[in-house]
Chain A
Amino acid sequence: MKAIVIEPLARVEGHGGITVELEGDSIAAVRFDVFEGARLLESLVRGKRYDEVAPVLSRICSICSAAHCLTSLKATEKAFEVTVSPQTERLRDLLFLGENIESHALHLFLLALPDYLNAPSAIALAADRPELVQLGLRLKRLGNLIQETIGGRAIHPVNAVPGGFGKAPSTEQLTGLRTALLEGAKGSSAVVDIMASLPETDFCRANTVYAALNSPNQDSYYAGDKVVVFADGERTAVPAADYRTLTNEEPAPHSHAKHSSFRGKPFMVGSLARLTVNMRWLTAKLAIAAERLRLHLPSDSPMDNNKAQALELIGDLERALAVVEQLLDDGIEDERPVPVQPRAGTGTAITEAPRGLLIHSYTYDAEGTLVSADVITPTALNAASMETHFRRLVEQCPERTDGVLAQRLEMLARAYDPCISCSVHLMRKR
């Protein structure tokens, strides 16, 4: 028996990683484990008042803090039947766009690109191709600037509160943001050029089920209460309140994250799923870029998630600019948050975090104290799909040497953009 083990996929010692066991030419086992901090953090908010929940849960992840914060607020508002203003919806959408730009720039330029260009790390890539890393850092900063302007600070948005925003951005701030976005949009063509120049990585082909938010506002990451599952050309809608019929979580003996499947099949969430479910909304510019990247939807290659992120990155820059211009045209109102009247009930919110579907479901008592919370992250939803795709990769790999398999498995894991910066991040001295 030969085993290939890739451990350092998790930030928590002893958790996470890929194990492949080979017996001659047969595959004895393929196991994927990911540490799921979010689930354990649910206990920290039980017993908290409704306005204390989002500030705690936004700290689940530094990269996805806006998504956790806004999904938390959306769930709380649903439980109390609060409807926020159109301006709030627009500002929240913009906050999501900023986070997506930041997250995709980080993932594509600092984590995925080194693989394609045979660099062992972002540091090594920076030495050889500084212009690539600098472009990634510039785009990431632009995403941060959006979040800072709308959320009130670089991380864990303080302006976003139940019912709306404690403080709306000023016209001056939005004008500054528009200038920065106009400048940043100049990097869009370079993103396509760079991604189009990379070698193809079609080492895992698989018929894949995709799931993504079906938003009423084109491809909004925030608005919407329905998930669409795309399988073999068929679309099935699942209302947010029925999310358990989508996830069907089952414990997996070897995994800290439960495994999700829809009608018995694992499904993939994230950029590639979003584009697949919402492909009819691709703009002409993005359709041309997709052609240049040789991305054909629906795709049978999970590695195409990197291309999908590149398309979203350039699309989000345009969309963020459009939202800012709309806010400036309409004039920003200094409106107060909608008053919140606590009541006993359950609220479920589903949004699109950078890595895919994010679910927060809360039950409150009549005083507005949180009784129970269920938080399901995209990385947890993807766990079963990742394991299936790792198996396909091994099956399709003609040269099963440790080095080749390990490199491909790591690249595929990275293409899923798993959120392992959740929880601890500390340094270790060995």
Chain B
Amino acid sequence: MKPILVVGLGNPLMGDDGVGCAVAECLVRDPRLPEWADVIAGGSDLLRYAGLMEGRRLVVVLDAIQDEAAPGTVATLDENAAGLEMRQEHAHHISALQAMRLLSMTIPADFLLLAISIASAGIGTDLSSRVRDRLPAIVEKVLGEIEYLGAGKLQCS
């Protein structure tokens, strides 16, 4: 079992909403991906991957965020990130941050969210040009984070 799991979230049928998945798919094919990291391209329900998180030291979640940052910006957030939907803002949905908090109750791993700023989310199988053009830079940034975080975790063991 590899100590780090990277989960890309999103719906590839909804434009930039699927950027987490798109980045995960790039990582799977990237020879620079560290050998101690597994990557999966998932859907929009993080809780569904609980079984794959057992025995990991770190779970890194890649997800889209609609904010004021330039599309393609990658921000590192922990489960208490201020200003994000921690309360049950939507009447019938568990957000990625809420899911991370719930999962941390039963799985003894650290959780970290890499939020990728997007331009738009609408029906369509393509990323917006603003995000698509930034994809190599996003992958580079995410790889750097995984290297840094993973190395820290491996050193601690």
Contact = CB atoms under 8 A, between A and B. Distances in A.
A67 interface: no
19 contacts: A11-B90, A44-B123, A110-B94, A123-B88, A154-B42, A154-B49, A155-B45, A414-B92, A418-B92, A420-B90, A420-B91, A423-B13, A425-B9, A425-B11, A425-B96, A426-B17, A427-B66, A427-B115, A428-B65
Given A137-B47, A155-B43, A427 B123 contact: no
Chain A interface size band reads 35 or more
Contacts of A430: 83
A427 B13 contact: no
A172 B28 CA distance: 28
Nearest to A43: B123
Given A44-B123, A56-B13, A428-B65, A114 B105 contact: no
A106 B94 contact: yes
Contacts of B64: 426-427
A121 B88 contact: yes
Contacts of B68: 429
Given A11-B90, A114-B88, A427-B64, A134 B47 contact: no
A40 B15 CA distance: 13
Contact of B92 (A102, A148, A420, A426): A420
Interface in B50-80: 50-52, 63-68
A173 B31 CA distance: 31
Given A59-B12, A144-B50, A134 B125 contact: no
B143 interface: no
Contact of B94 (A6, A111, A429): A111
Interface in A31-58: 37, 40-41, 43-44, 56
A9 B11 contact: no
B91 A421 contact: no
Contacts of B87: 120-121
A178 interface: no
Given A44-B123, A144-B51, A426 B118 contact: yes
Interface residues of B, number: 52
A341 to B, nearest CB: 29
Most buried by A among B13, B17, B125: B13
B149 interface: no
Interface of A: 6, 8-11, 37, 40-41, 43-44, 56, 59-60, 62-63, 65, 102, 106, 110-111, 114, 120-123, 126, 130, 133-134, 137-138, 140-141, 144-145, 148, 154-156, 410, 413-414, 417-418, 420-421, 423-430
Given A41-B13, A102-B48, A121-B88, A428 B67 contact: yes
A427 B42 contact: no
Nearest to B124: A44
Given A41-B123, A130-B105, A421 B45 contact: yes
Contacts of A130: 105
Contact of A421 (B10, B44, B85): B44
Contacts of B44: 62, 421, 424-425
A26 B145 CA distance: 59
A425 B50 contact: no
B84 interface: yes
Contacts of A9: 90-92
A424 B121 contact: yes
B29 interface: no
> What 10 A-B pairs are tightest by C-beta distance, nearest first?
A62-B43, A425-B44, A121-B88, A429-B67, A426-B64, A62-B45, A424-B17, A62-B44, A424-B121, A155-B43
Interface in B86-125: 86-98, 101-103, 105-106, 115, 118, 121, 123-125
B14 interface: yes
Given A63-B45, A111-B94, A144-B50, A424 B88 contact: no
Given A140-B48, A156-B43, A426-B16, 20 more contacts: A9-B90, A44-B124, A56-B13, A59-B11, A62-B45, A65-B43, A106-B47, A122-B88, A122-B98, A122-B102, A130-B105, A134-B106, A413-B92, A420-B91, A420-B92, A421-B44, A421-B45, A425-B44, A426-B64, A429-B84
